């Protein structure tokens, strides 16, 4: 009880702190003095208050204080301590409080880290960020208060959805939110810089750090969610083109585009308006992500969090923010009159513009695929589903030129490149196609498109490896990220082509045979755990005379009463073995699903490599030519 | 003669086996493209719910009756609506869905091309 009260009042006081912040900022904005230290102090106090509020919520969860409605709805006394804590952000109210926490944390870091930049710019960024922060404070206090009382206090809580009781998913939201909210700093900063006509090379170098930071967290956040889906949802896929996955992918695509074109602004002082538009849309997409997930508009596996009224608030809030940014863009933004237009056809700039062009197309596909069904339903009340085949058809063909440009782009120089020395690039492409041809030859798949597709991915793969050898440390971060991407595409393609699976019904003591595998259901053991009963199946699987034991599990949770299927996965460098069991109506039998998935681990590793590129770039002092 | 008939029988059974494998493959292909209506974001192929299992049987029977993939899809759309297909059909409801991304791509290309031409002049 005490922790909830504490949390609630620090939230109120946190909102009140915005007043002195506004007061001192506007005063300081007009006068000649350097940045008023009081502004930093008040930002710090606001941050501390939000932290206290957040701790209050965590402690309410830890002590299972069911007089708090959020705790009652999402926790249970028998839940392990770890999941009690992570349950704090596994729900709507808590996750918004986390949003707010990161918002205040980031603006505080921004204020400290932006020393040496224009004072007016720093203050204005703070003010824009404060608008967002106030929006979230009001939203939290008014319509999603995490500290609502329940009187009388119930004896027991409703529990957390068991599929969310998982280590990867426990840290997935915080990491993802660091990425989402990082884009708020970019948003506030770009509005401030536009108003002050401060968009410049210096500004680009400074904001690039924030772009990289958000991008790394967003990438890792999506990766964690994907890994979780792979082993927890139990059908062995890792990306379903589910609307909720898509809404996290969209800001990622926008941010990746921004990451590239901000380089052009930094090095060549061009694409100013484009950078502004991208920064605004990245943040809008991040907000949309929160809105779409939390409003329950989407029909998806994530609809455990829904409430249309809250969605309406976020939507209105977002609408106001976009309106403000559009006004600022049209009133304050001026194209430079004396800019030196030197965009040559064969230059790094052009390559980056082409990258942006494709990225925007991918973004358009994902955006339209996600929102179109909603609009169609509203307009004509007809329901359609947009699933993986749609995205595959529209994205895969475009990947081919995209990969090729991705390989060639970094070979070009800024301003202008001569092409004479680039013959070996073509040679390498021919080699890649040949290698791809020999891989594809014996497979029963669409020959032409796959040869070219794998060929292009291999091309990027070879070129980045060549650059590791030839250029050593020059541009290493970019090269690692691009290498990671080629590995990513290759792993997904090979994973698709070479996967095999067996689905059958077995009871204890039975065997399944086919020409490749022998699956023997040896035994079934029952265990009583703290908040669930577990049935572990003992299987032995023979393939090529090699035998391995696997133990998939079925869990029957007590609160809420839900059965989950826990896959047993044996990971090796070349492939994953994946087995799940499920109940069948006929009680003695279990539905057994065994899959062999090649290169699975390389999908995760390659995404890690991609983010590693971002991390290196973040800590690197200078961006080399 | 006996050997010959044995050979024929083996040949036939092999044939049946391979056509069975084809049928299963077709069934998987179709069910992967169907939404399990009572699940959340799962295909019929991936789901183990009663609905998905009965739908697998329906698809299986239709294949046995000699229906093609398209005919089976049409049959299911009639019964459950377009909501069930993950691969939306190209019709008056979905012209924009399919074409808008491509139009955006062309438009973006046109803008870039125009700028490049203008600058290089």
- A461-520 residue pLDDT tens: 999 999 888 877 778 899 999 999 999 999 999 998 888 888 888 888 888 888 888 899
What mean pLDDT do residues A45-55 have? 97
What mean pLDDT do residues B41-63 have? 84
Query: Helices H, strands E: what count in chain A?
Result: 17, 10
pLDDT given for residue A341 in this prediction: 58
* Complete DSSP assignment for A359-380: HHHHHHHHHHHHHHHHHHHHHH
Highest mean pLDDT among A22-36, A336-350, A554-568: A22-36
What mean pLDDT do residues B37-46 have? 79
Nearest chain B CA: its distance from A445 CA (Å): 13
Above 70 in pLDDT, residue B19? no
Above 70 in pLDDT, residue A591? yes
What mean pLDDT do residues B80-100 have? 88
Q: How confident is the model at residue A308 (pLDDT cuts 50, 70, 90)?
A: low
The model's pLDDT over A549-564, given as tens digits with 9 standing for 90+, comes to 999 998 888 777 788 8
Domain B2-89 falls under CATH 1.10.8.640: yes
Instruction: Answer whether B17 touches A (CB < 8 Å).
Output: no
Partners of A585 on chain B (C-beta within 8 Å) are 50
Highest mean pLDDT among A417-426, B22-31, B59-68: B59-68
In three-state secondary structure terms, A575 is strand
pLDDT given for residue B4 in this prediction: 57
Which of A107-116, A265-274, A291-300 has the weakest average pLDDT? A291-300
* Complete DSSP assignment for A381-425: -------HHHHHHHHHHHHHHHHHHHHHGGGSPSS----GGGHHH
Partners of A387 on chain B (C-beta within 8 Å) are 33, 35, 43, 85-87
Spatial distance between the Cα atoms of A58 and A46, rounded to a whole number of angstroms: 18
Angle at A282 between CA A278 and CA A285, to 5 degrees: 135
Cβ A357–B104 below 8 Å, yes or no?
no
Residue A150: left (phi > 0), alpha (psi -120 to 50), or beta? beta
pLDDT given for residue A621 in this prediction: 65
Cβ B40–A388 below 8 Å, yes or no?
no
What mean pLDDT do residues A57-79 have? 90
Residue found under tokens 């029977």 = B61
pLDDT given for residue A366 in this prediction: 96
Instruction: Answer whether A384 touches B (CB < 8 Å).
Output: yes
Average of per-residue pLDDT values in chain A? 87
Partners of A240 on chain B (C-beta within 8 Å) are 41
Identify which of A321, A240, A262, A259 has the alpha carbon closest to the alpha carbon of residue A287. A321
Question: Residues in chain A, how many?
Answer: 625
Partners of A303 on chain B (C-beta within 8 Å) are 40
C-alpha distances out from residue A393 to A387, A390, B86, Å? 11, 5, 12
Instruction: Answer whether A582 touches B (CB < 8 Å).
Output: yes
Q: How confident is the model at residue B9 (pLDDT cuts 50, 70, 90)?
A: low
pLDDT given for residue B10 in this prediction: 53
Q: Where along chain A do its domains lie?
A: 1-161, 166-338+348-371, 380-498+607-619, 500-601
Instruction: Answer whether A534 touches B (CB < 8 Å).
Output: no
What is the four-CA torsion angle of A457, A458, A464, A469, rounded to 10 degrees? 170
Please give the ipTM for the structure prediction. 0.86
Strand partners, A566: A553
Spatial distance between the Cα atoms of A603 and A591, rounded to a whole number of angstroms: 28
Above 90 in pLDDT, residue A150? no
Which of A202-211, A331-340, A543-552, B38-47 has the weakest average pLDDT? A331-340
Cβ A386–B116 below 8 Å, yes or no?
no
Question: Among positive and negative, which fits the CA dihedral B37, A594, A245, A254?
Answer: negative
Q: H/E element holding A341? A: none
The model's pLDDT over A122-134, given as tens digits with 9 standing for 90+, comes to 999 999 999 999 9
Cβ B33–A387 below 8 Å, yes or no?
yes
Cβ A369–B33 below 8 Å, yes or no?
no
Above 80 in pLDDT, residue A304? no
In three-state secondary structure terms, B89 is coil
Q: Percentage of chain A surpassing pLDDT 70? A: 93
Residue found under tokens 């069948």 = A584
Q: Percentage of chain A surpassing pLDDT 90? A: 47
Spatial distance between the Cα atoms of A6 and A422, rounded to a whole number of angstroms: 66
Spatial distance between the Cα atoms of A347 and A269, rounded to a whole number of angstroms: 15
Number of Cβ atoms within 10 Å of the Cβ of A224: 22
Residue found under tokens 């660091």 = A178
Strand partners, A576: A571, A597
Q: How confident is the model at residue B115 (pLDDT cuts 50, 70, 90)?
A: confident
pLDDT given for residue A13 in this prediction: 95
pLDDT given for residue A164 in this prediction: 78
Contact (Cβ atoms closer than 8 angstroms) between residue A204 and residue A129: no
Instruction: Answer whether B87 touches A (CB < 8 Å).
Output: yes
Above 60 in pLDDT, residue B22? yes
pLDDT given for residue A377 in this prediction: 82
Instruction: Identify which of B46, B100, B116 has the shortest CB distance to residue A368.
Output: B100
Above 60 in pLDDT, residue B18? no
Spatial distance between the Cα atoms of A311 and A296, rounded to a whole number of angstroms: 8
Q: Where along chain B do its domains lie?
A: 2-89, 90-121
Structure tokens at A610: 């991609």
The model's pLDDT over A200-245, given as tens digits with 9 standing for 90+, comes to 888 999 999 999 999 999 999 999 999 988 888 767 788 989 888 8
Cβ A372–B40 below 8 Å, yes or no?
no
* Sequence-separated (6 or more) residues with CB below 8 Å from residue B46: A235, A237, B32, B36, B52
pLDDT given for residue A624 in this prediction: 46
Spatial distance between the Cα atoms of A37 and A41, rounded to a whole number of angstroms: 6
């Amino acid at each position: 009880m005490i922790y909830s009260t504490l949390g609630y009042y620090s939230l109120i006081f946190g909102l009140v702190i915005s007043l002195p912040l506004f007061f001192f900022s506007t005063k300081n904005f007009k006068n000649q003095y350097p940045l008023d230290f009081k502004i930093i102090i008040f930002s710090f106090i606001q941050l501390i208050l939000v932290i206290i509020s957040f701790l209050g919520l965590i402690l309410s969860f830890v002590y299972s204080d069911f007089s708090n409605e959020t705790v009652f709805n999402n926790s249970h006394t028998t839940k392990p301590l770890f999941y009690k804590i992570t349950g704090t952000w596994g729900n709507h109210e808590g996750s918004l409080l986390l949003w707010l926490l990161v918002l205040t944390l980031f603006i505080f870091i921004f204020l400290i880290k932006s020393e040496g930049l224009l004072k007016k710019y720093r203050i204005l960024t703070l003010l824009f960020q404060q608008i967002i922060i106030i929006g979230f404070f009001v939203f939290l206090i008014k319509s999603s208060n995490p500290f609502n009382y329940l009187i009388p206090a119930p004896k027991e809580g409703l529990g957390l959805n068991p599929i969310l009781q998982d280590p990867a998913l426990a840290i997935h939201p915080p990491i993802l939110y660091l990425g989402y909210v990082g884009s708020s700093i970019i948003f506030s900063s770009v509005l401030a810089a536009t108003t002050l006509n401060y968009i410049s090379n210096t500004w680009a170098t400074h904001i690039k750090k924030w772009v990289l930071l958000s991008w790394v967290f967003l990438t890792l956040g999506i990766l964690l969610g994907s890994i979780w889906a792979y082993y927890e949802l139990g059908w062995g896929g890792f990306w379903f083109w589910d609307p909720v996955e898509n809404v996290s992918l969209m800001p990622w695509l926008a941010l990746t585009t921004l990451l590239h074109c901000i380089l052009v602004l930094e090095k060549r002082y061009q694409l100013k308006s484009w950078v502004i538009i991208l920064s605004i849309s990245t943040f809008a997409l991040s907000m949309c992500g929160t809105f779409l997930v939390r409003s329950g508009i989407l029909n998806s596996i994530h609809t455990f969090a829904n409430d249309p009224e809250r969605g309406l608030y976020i939507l209105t809030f977002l609408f106001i923010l976009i309106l403000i940014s559009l006004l600022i863009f049209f009133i304050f933004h001026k194209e430079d009159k004396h800019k030196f237009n030197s965009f040559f056809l064969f230059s790094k700039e052009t390559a980056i513009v082409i990258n942006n062009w494709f990225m925007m197309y991918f973004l358009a596909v994902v955006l339209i695929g996600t929102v179109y069904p909603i609009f169609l339903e509203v307009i004509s009340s007809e329901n359609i589903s947009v699933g993986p085949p749609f995205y595959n058809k529209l994205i895969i063909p475009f990947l081919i030129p995209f990969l090729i440009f991705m390989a060639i782009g970094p070979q070009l120089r800024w301003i202008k490149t001569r092409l004479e020395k680039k013959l070996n690039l073509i040679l390498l492409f021919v080699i890649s196609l040949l290698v791809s041809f020999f891989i594809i030859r014996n497979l029963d798949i669409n020959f032409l498109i796959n040869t070219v597709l794998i060929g292009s991915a291999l091309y990027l793969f070879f070129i980045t490896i060549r650059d590791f050898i030839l250029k050593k440390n020059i541009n290493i971060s970019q090269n690692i990220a691009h290498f990671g991407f080629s590995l990513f595409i290759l792993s997904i393609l090979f994973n698709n082509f070479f996967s095999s699976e067996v689905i059958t019904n077995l009871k204890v003591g039975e065997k399944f045979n086919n020409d490749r595998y022998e699956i023997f259901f040896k035994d079934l053991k029952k265990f009583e755990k703290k908040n669930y009963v577990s049935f572990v199946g003992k299987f032995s699987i023979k393939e090529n005379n090699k035998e391995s034991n696997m133990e998939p599990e079925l869990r029957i949770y007590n609160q809420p009463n839900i059965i989950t299927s826990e896959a047993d996965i044996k990971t090796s460098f070349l492939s994953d073995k994946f087995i799940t069991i499920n109940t069948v109506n006929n009680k003695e039998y279990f539905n057994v699903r065994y899959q062999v998935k090649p290169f699975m681990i390389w999908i995760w590793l390659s995404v890690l490599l991609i983010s590693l590129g971002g991390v290196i770039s973040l800590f690197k002092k200078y961006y080399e030519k | 003669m006996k050997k010959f008939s044995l050979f024929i029988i083996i040949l036939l059974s092999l044939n049946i086996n391979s056509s069975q494998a084809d049928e299963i493959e077709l069934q998987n292909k179709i069910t992967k493209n169907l939404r399990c209506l009572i699940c959340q974001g799962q295909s019929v192929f991936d789901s183990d719910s009663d609905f998905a299992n009965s739908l697998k049987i329906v698809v299986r029977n239709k294949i046995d009756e000699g229906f093609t993939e398209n005919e089976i899809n049409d049959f299911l759309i009639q019964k459950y609506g377009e909501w069930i297909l993950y691969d939306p059909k190209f019709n008056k409801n979905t012209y924009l869905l399919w074409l808008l991304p491509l139009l955006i791509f062309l438009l973006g290309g046109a803008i870039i091309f125009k700028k490049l031409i203008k600058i290089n002049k």
